[in-house]
A = this chain, B = another copy of it.
Amino acid sequence: MRRTITGFSNPTVKFLRSLRDKKHRRREGRFLAEGLRLLTDARETGRLPEMLVMAQGRETHPLLDELERAVAAAGGEILEMPGDILAKVTGKDNPQAVCGVFAEFDTSLASVDRAASPIWLVAQAMRDPGNLGTMLRTGDAVGAGGLILLDDCVDPFSVEAVRASMGAIFTQAVVQARWEEFITWLRADDGQGGGQLVAASLRDAVPYRGAPYAAPCFIMVGNESRGLPEEYELACDLRVTMPMNGRADSLNAAVAGAVLAYEVLAGLDKV
């Protein structure tokens, strides 16, 4: 059954708006995803929103009808509201006609089977939600298992990160861990086959092109301003350099991760 909301001061609107804030997402264990495409991607991976929110006066779409039926059948809630209220919920002037509330996933290292994929992406202290979402999207494209977020990264469940992931938030595993936890897990001889930790570096590094990558390969990029801490670089199994022919001597973190990931993909395919 659909419920219609007409006022900005409705408690459900307040709840939805609160999910734009990390503190509230954490407390509720819920996050927002916008747009029919994203919600359809989610459904195809077996994830349905607990609450489906649609703008009044939207265009009808067969995929939206299917989605609504699936959410209702799963016992979820269906809401309708005016477009201007939905715009306040998503914080976008030009909101998509639909959004959904999802339960946050388990983001512990224990939830991850490293043998499930030859490539994993690792980001340390990544601060930009667009970069984080872009890394999830790149991970999906190269067939990575997921994205491991080390230390104080921006929230992967923020509206901006979810948006930039273009649905990959639903296809990639997302892990949140401190460095010590991660490196202990990576090095633990738990029968999962270990893993090769790789980063771009200038420290006794080999050319990234054709370097001896080995699965499961964990490709690590550092913070947007500071790069990786020295200790993290030194703990890598393989340090690689990428050509820097310009003045600035740096790449966007998500771009560096993607160029490396495609090189690793090509390298592993040759074996």
Contact = CB atoms under 8 A, between A and B. Distances in A.
A110 interface: no
Q: Which 4 A-B pairs have the closest CB atoms?
A: A143-B245, A140-B246, A255-B258, A134-B252
Nearest to A134: B252
Interface string A137-153: 11111110000000000
A26 to B, nearest CB: 22
A250 B165 CA distance: 10
Contacts of A143: 243, 245-246
A211 to B, nearest CB: 13
Contacts of A245: 141-143, 265
A80 interface: no
A244 interface: yes
Contacts of A141: 242-246, 248-251
Interface stretch (A5-13, A166-174, A226-234): A166-174
Q: Which of A130, A134, A166, A259 has the most CB of B within 10 A?
A: A259
A235 interface: no
5 contacts: A164-B252, A167-B247, A245-B265, A252-B258, A258-B259
Interface in A110-157: 130, 134, 137-143
Interface of A: 41, 44-45, 130, 134, 137-143, 164, 166-168, 171, 209, 242-252, 254-255, 258-259, 262-263, 265-266
Nearest to A256: B258
Contacts of A242: 141, 262
Contact of A247 (B45, B244, B249, B263): B45
Nearest to A139: B246
Given A243-B265, A259-B259, A138 B171 contact: no
Contact of A254 (B139, B140, B255): B255
A45 B41 CA distance: 46
Contacts of A252: 134, 137-138, 164, 254, 258
B138 A255 contact: yes
A190 to B, nearest CB: 26
Nearest to A246: B140
A259 B246 CA distance: 17
Given A138-B252, A166-B250, A243-B265, 14 more contacts: A44-B247, A130-B130, A138-B251, A142-B243, A142-B246, A143-B243, A143-B246, A166-B248, A167-B247, A167-B248, A171-B246, A252-B258, A255-B255, A258-B258
